[in-house]
Structure 1
Amino acid sequence: MPTPQQPIRSPFHAASTAADVMAGVDLSGRIAIVTGGHSGIGLVTARRLAEAGANVIVPARDPHRAREALADVGQVEVQAMDLMQPDSIQAFARRIVAQGNPISLLINCAGIMAAPLLRDAQSHESQFATNHLGHYRLTCGLWPALVAGKGRVIAVSSRGHQIAGIDFQDIDFQQRPYDKWLAYGQSKTANALFALALDRRGSPHGIRAFSLHPGQILTDLARHLSTEEIAAFDIYDQQGKPRVEPESGLKTLEQGAATGLWCATSKDLDNQGGVYCEDCNIAPINDAALGRKGVAHWAADPELAERLWALSRQWTGMDVA
């Protein structure tokens, strides 16, 4: 069966940086929203978008901390929003839509990884609630502004999606024992399936959606991991410094932000959408010959994407229209 997961002729590669991708890109007058835009690759993303002329909005659970991190970045506005709180997401989206300005880019970069078991007010497991349901609610809430801007929506997934598909019988670990890595894996699979289903709904309105693996970068995302768990990733050299081997996935922050920015701005993707990307290109379907590169078949399955969308609509009471 044909798949859109076919690499194209991209001028960039695994070692390309955010600066490389954004060279010559003019976003003057455009509005971009970047969740997680005050730390890690989100901060690099917000900075590069602002340098290209975009007016960047960063929703953050801790606005004070976010403003401190972004103090040296012009054209950035921080607003309060908590991805674990539906009312907070709704209030943020309503404020943005009420302003009447089109949104050109929504980059869903915020996330948590391998967190201890925690549930939101609706009893959803926190990684699924934050990484998927929170961004689902946000996208639906911003829909009128995204339609007006014919925007691109970027879901930052991870190679971690290869850990697990979605267990539709027990997403929230109500019956099975909680496993923080299975929970993370299915939340990252959800990011990829979300982009696939969203693109089908958005493309008639000029909205395209993409998901991506940014690379393996030690950031605050690893805050729930022990020293031993971090060491097991083999990301440090003999001097204790982070190894940089882009082809194997070990990247700098600037390299890690590159694929998301490429998805957000590349003209080579004008007629594409719904695909999972890595190393500034569309990724192939993963198989044994590729090692860990590529997208798992369960994260690129249109039927599973529709199943997840229907469940997300049921759980949140929200949809795009």
Structure 2
Amino acid sequence: MKKNNNDITIQTPIHSGFGPRTMAIEALQGEDLSGKVAIVTGGYSGLGLETTRILAEAGATVIVPARTPEKALASVSAISGVELESLDLLDPTSIDAFAERFLNSNRPLHILVDSAGIMASPLSRDKRGYESQFAINHLGHFQLTAKLWPALVKAEGARVVSVSSRGHMISGIDFSDPNFENREYDKWIAYGQSKTANALFAVELDKRGENYGIRAFSVHPGSIVTDLSRNLSDDEMRAMGALDEHGQRGFSVYNDELKTIPEGAATIVWCAVNKQLEGMGGVYCENVDIAQAVPSDNPPGPGVKPWAVNPVYAEQLWQLSEKLTGVKFPE
């Protein structure tokens, strides 16, 4: 199914009626997902697990790929409608094999949530030599989405949710050296670059997918203490206000930015299924609404910086990603 809607969604809030305390089940807004098929990368822990649970309990069949499915089994075994699969986002061969198995099932793919990721990790590289945060957070999902494209088209109305972060404010894309081959590695700069890539990916994917009924969104879920922080020291967690006097990781207070897991998954679920976003796409969302565009010199806080939604940068990243992965989306 092709659509010829050339409207551009404006990067400004639509006043959804939701907010930072909205939980994922509320953002679903009663949608019946019976007969829908979803894939949630990272869907067995943290925000991904909550997203999996909400989508499955609403009736969707949810495929959860994991590098070691047997380890993920304990997390999802109590949720009906979940299928575990094998996928390593650092391994191009594994990505292709997973996508091929799904395509061979002849099912449409209505929802793809690209949420697996790593944060502030020590320098390591994938099998192609690419920096691991850029490789897992962006390039692996770029390749996965490209390979699943026929199933997304088959859905005749699919949504792709790219999980970004306020971390995009740390750094844009260094197109001359994205893999830290000629510059000193900084784990936070690398993370920020990968989160900017997640946002730009949604911009260009939505542009290319709209005529096929495929809409894409990027999401800042908020700051949530999950396994994503495993590479951070206790001192780093303490500096973020996420370590109590007993050495336990977590927040003692919550606000517009600091959230529980059900609150953090709310914007992901909203972008994946809520009818408020019908006919829209290519935007960065937070607090269960479209985020406000803010100037590049704004202090860190709500909103999205220009370099994360710039359509010229989005196309440039797309071309770079095709070159690095050797994968092209079908015309």
Question: Which TM-score applies when normalising by structure 2?
Answer: 0.93
Deviation at 1:319, TM superposition (A): 2.0
User: Which residue of 288, 308, 322 maps to 1:299?
Assistant: 308
| Counterpart in the other structure of 1:138 | 144
1:7-31: CA deviations, max 9, x gaps?
0020211110011112411000100
Q: Is the contact between residue 244 and residue 252 of structure 1 (CA under 8 Å) also seen in structure 2?
A: no
Taking the aligned partners of 1:198 and 1:6, their CA distance within structure 2 comes to 19
| Distance of 1:237 and 1:144 partners within structure 2 | 48
In 2, the alpha carbon distance for the partners of 1:291 and 1:117 equals 25
- What SS does the aligned partner of 2:182 have? coil
Tell me: CA distance 1:45–1:187, structure 2 relative to 1, closer, same or farther (3 Å). same
Alignment of 1:69-148 (within 5 A): 69-148=75-154
Which position in structure 2 is the counterpart of 1:197? 204
Where do 1:118-267 residues align within 5 Å? 118-149=124-155, 150-236=157-243, 242-247=251-256, 249-267=257-275
CA distance in 1, matches of 2:25, 2:39: 19
* Match of residue 18 from structure 2: 12
Corresponding residue number in structure 2 for 1:22: 28
Question: What SS does the aligned partner of 1:246 have?
Answer: coil
Quickly say closer, same or farther: Cα 1:219–1:75, change in 2 above 3 A.
same
Contact 2:202–2:282 (Cα < 8 Å) also in 1: yes
- Residue 53 of structure 1: SS of its match in structure 2? coil
Q: Give, as a single letter, the amino acid of the residue that structure 2 aligns with 1:304.
A: Y
Rounded Cα–Cα distance in structure 2 between residues aligned with 1:59 and 1:270: 27
| TM-score normalized by the length of structure 1 | 0.96
Question: Closer, same or farther in 2 for the Cα pair 1:291/1:169, shift >3 Å?
Answer: closer
Contact 2:22 2:266 survives alignment (8 Å)? yes
Amino acid in the other structure paired with 1:294: G
Query: Percent identity, aligned pairs only?
Result: 53
Deviations 1:200-255 (A, max 9, x none): 000000000000100101110011111001111113567865234231x0000000
Contact 1:286 1:292 in 2 (8 A): no
Task: Specify the code of the residue in structure 1 equivalent to 2:314.
Answer: A
Is 1:53 the counterpart of 2:59? The answer is yes
Counterparts in 2 of 1:202 and 1:244: CA distance versus 1, 3 Å: farther
SS at match of 2:145: helix
1:80-116 Cα shifts (integer Å, max 9, x gaps)? 0000000000000011111111000000010000010
Counterparts of 1:244 and 1:309 in 2: how far apart (Å)? Answer: 39
Alpha-carbon RMSD across the aligned residues, in angstroms, is 1.5
Unaligned runs of 5+ in 2: 1-7
Give the secondary structure class of the aligned counterpart of 1:277.
strand
* Structure 1 residues 97 and 146: alpha-carbon distance in aligned structure 2, compared to 1, 3 A threshold: same
User: Helix, strand or coil: the match of 1:58?
Assistant: strand
Q: Partners of 1:102 and 1:146 in 2: how far apart?
A: 6
In the alignment, the residues of structure 1 paired with residue 187 and residue 243 of structure 2 have an alpha-carbon distance, to the nearest angstrom, of: 23
Alpha-carbon deviations, 1:114-135, whole Å to 9, x = none? 0100011211000000000000
Q: Distance in 2 between matches of 1:9 and 1:243?
A: 28
Aligned residues: 319
Distance 1:294 1:318, change over 3 A: same
Give deviations 1:159-188, integer Å, cap 9, x for gaps: 001000001111111111100000000000
2:142 partner letter: Y
**Structure 1 245/286 Cα, relative in aligned 2: closer, same or farther at 3 Å?**
farther
User: Which one of 68, 72, 82 corresponds to residue 62 of structure 1?
Assistant: 68
Residue type matched to 2:273 in 1? T
Task: Find the residue that maps to 2:231 and give its secondary structure.
Answer: coil
Q: 2: distance between equivalents of 1:109 and 1:121? A: 21
| Structure 1, gaps ≥5 residues long | none
